[in-house]
Chain A
Amino acid sequence: MRELKGQYDSSFVTRYSSFLKYALLMLFAVFFLFPMYWLVLTSLKTQADQFSMPPVWWTKRLTLDYYRAIIFDSSFETLAFNSALACGGSALLSLVAGTMGAYSLSRFRLPFRLNHHLSLWILSTRMFPPIVSIVPLFLIMRALDLLDTRLALVLAYSVFNLPFVVWMMKGFFDELPRELEESALMDGDTHLGAFLRIVLPLVAPGIAATAIFCMIVSWNEFLFALILTQTDSALTLPVGIANQVTQYEIRWGVMSAAGVVAMTPMFIFALMVQRYLVRGLSFGAVKG
């Protein structure tokens, strides 16, 4: 009898605590998902509903006008293209340079504890807020005649992506047993061959995770794009969307629709590689 009662008690406790857990998670989910809902809803509402007070929380009066507006607006496509180039270009550049840098830092012993000093120095470039570097960056870009170009954005985004890539990838390389490369060397391979054939395939999930982080950050970046670009030749989506706040009106519908469309690729991307994302981040924890 007592045993039975005990069992009942404990299952009651676990059920209670798991209820609590889910309640808490629901709360968080609502908190974070509500703005998304509001964005999507606003992009579909009629203009009258957008401005009505009290707000319209739910409606069946929906319109696709704003989506039509941005899809047939060639300037939106230009901005999206700029964004994609700046984001992809910087991710590629940072990954190629950063991965090799991280590998060297992880594997080769430099004299004077340079490994340690270099790693910290690379990290330190991320310790100040981006706005601090914007003025020098602006001056450099002007001197190089790169203002209002997509290349300027690629370079600028690489400034903050590169240290991130180095540190992320260094973590993955440190986790990888050295014997694997040594074994490849013994099997007759060169250092570069061992890196390409053994190391890279094994850290591929880490590279994917890192790439996605870089892309999400660059895709959403606002400040650098605002300062370094002016015209359609380099403007990105976040700045373009913000420009819908004009002197005379705030075009909520267009902004929301553009926001939804801009969000979609990153959303799909994250879903697609979610598995790798989790594996990449917990790579060290579940080695083997």
Chain B
Amino acid sequence: MSIRFENATKIFRDLAVVDRLNLEIEDGEMMVLLGPSGCGKTTTLRMLAGLEDISEGTIYIASRCVNGVPSRHRNVAMVFQNYALYPHMTAAQNIGYPLRIRGVKRDEMARQVSEVAETLEIGRLLDRRPRELSGGERQRVALARAVIRRPAAFLMDEPLSNLDARLRLQMRGELKRLQRGLRITTLYVTHDQAEAMTLAHRVAVMREGKLQQVGTPMELYQRPANMFVAGFVGSPAMNFIQGRMEGASFRLNGGLLSLTPDQLPAAASAETLVLGFRPECASLTSPQEDGALRGTVYVTEEMGNETFVFLKCEDALITVRAEAHFKAEIGDVLGVRVPPSSVRLFEARTGKALV
């Protein structure tokens, strides 16, 4: 079922924590709501769930306005960050709870529970209580409880954040397979950009209650609408350097970076510019090379398959990805070559992307 937010607003004590949100989630789509902590993601989800009323605007589920409709009549299932499993019930009773409420017969319920448990590979855990389950197992039980009644939509609030790093990666993959297999419309909330990139059909980036950009992970990565999105999506984050235009080039410390022809008109219109480039697009070279940025090595981080070199370029700290065996000492002076085509330009005052 599709979901639509129309100017949805939530006001807590005069403050709009969600500010005129317009967002449409298509049937079967997995939309990830991405943003830093406190930006209003949970509040958005809770408005959709019916756990929080909507101050202004309208929310539609399957073209039906759900403002004021109690949660139980919205037919959406939610997975909470702490799973919210009922401690006094076994896993089977937890999973069967939505059916029990709907008056499903005992043996039919047992059949469905074991069927769902099979898909999520928790068949042998059904007699245990939540406290006897590990974090990952609880997560699966919570998912099973959401899946069992085939809701119109799944709502998930940082469901992986309580798991350790390895398990999180594993569950991330399984979650994706589950969602793609069932094709149930999903709104997934996270502050982890890697989760957003890997899980989403489309990502909606939020900041301080305002929607910044909606797009496929690739669109966000390649064409961020503003500096906030550019800095939030991708890891390590995009590098930003402030500067100004000099003819057809961007004036940097120690050098001029020539821009591509299509970047020029927009660049000329702005007073001060911020140039952005991704660590994986730049490469290290000798400091004497023409048109290269010069920087002093601040620190290096060897990841095994690659090495990240952090350099100080005047005030800015920039990151460059180098190959695994790259060696540099702290304090070395290096050149950074930035291919003009990989450069994004932003207006310094508003942070808006140019071009």
Contacts and interface: CB of A to CB of B under 8 A. Distances in A.
Interface of A: 177, 179-180, 182-190, 193, 198, 201-202, 288
Contacts of A190: 72
B72 A188 contact: yes
6 contacts: A179-B80, A182-B49, A184-B97, A186-B77, A187-B97, A188-B98
Contact of A177 (B49, B84, B88, B145): B84
Contacts of B84: 177, 179-180, 182-183
In the A-B complex, list the 6 residue pairs whose CB atoms are closest, starting with the nearest. A183-B84, A179-B84, A187-B98, A185-B71, A186-B78, A188-B101
Contacts of A193: 101
B248 to A, nearest CB: 58
Contacts, number: 54
A32 to B, nearest CB: 36
A187 B71 CA distance: 8
A179 B138 CA distance: 15
A280 to B, nearest CB: 15
B76 interface: yes
Main secondary structure of the interface of A (DSSP, over half): helix
A183 B84 CA distance: 6
Given A177-B82, A179-B80, A288-B131, A187 B88 contact: no
Given A188-B101, A288-B131, A198 B86 contact: yes
A57 to B, nearest CB: 51
Contacts of B88: 201-202
A183 to B, nearest CB: 4
B102 interface: yes
Interface string B52-90: 000000000000000000111000111010101011100
A153 B233 CA distance: 69
A180 B86 contact: yes
Contacts of A185: 50-51, 70-72
Contacts of B180: none
B149 interface: yes
A80 B141 CA distance: 51
Nearest to B75: A188
B77 A179 contact: no
A187 B131 contact: no
Contacts of A183: 78, 80, 84, 86
A73 B47 CA distance: 67
Contact of B101 (A177, A189, A202): A189
B101 A187 contact: yes
B51 A187 contact: no
Contacts of A201: 88
Interface in B82-128: 82, 84, 86-88, 97-98, 101-102
Given A177-B84, A182-B71, A186-B49, 17 more contacts: A179-B80, A179-B82, A182-B80, A182-B84, A183-B86, A185-B70, A186-B77, A186-B78, A187-B97, A187-B98, A189-B97, A189-B101, A190-B72, A193-B101, A201-B88, A202-B87, A288-B131
Nearest to B46: A182
Interface string B187-216: 000000000000000000000000000000
Contacts of A182: 49, 51, 71, 78, 80, 84
B124 to A, nearest CB: 24
Contacts of A186: 49, 51, 71-72, 76-78, 155
Contacts of A202: 86-88
A273 B104 CA distance: 36
Contacts of B98: 187-188
Contact of B102 (A179, A184, A188, A288): A188
A286 B94 CA distance: 23
A205 to B, nearest CB: 11
B80 A188 contact: no
Contacts of B78: 182-183, 186
A186 B29 CA distance: 21
Contacts of A189: 72, 97, 101
B126 to A, nearest CB: 18
A202 B86 CA distance: 9
A98 B352 CA distance: 58
Nearest to A189: B101
Contacts of B70: 185
Nearest to B98: A187
Which of A184, A201, A288 lies at the interface centre, i.e. has the most chain B CB atoms within 10 A of its CB?
Answer: A184
A84 B162 CA distance: 50
B147 to A, nearest CB: 12
A202 B102 CA distance: 22
A273 B102 CA distance: 36
B353 to A, nearest CB: 38
A198 B88 CA distance: 8
Nearest to A176: B87
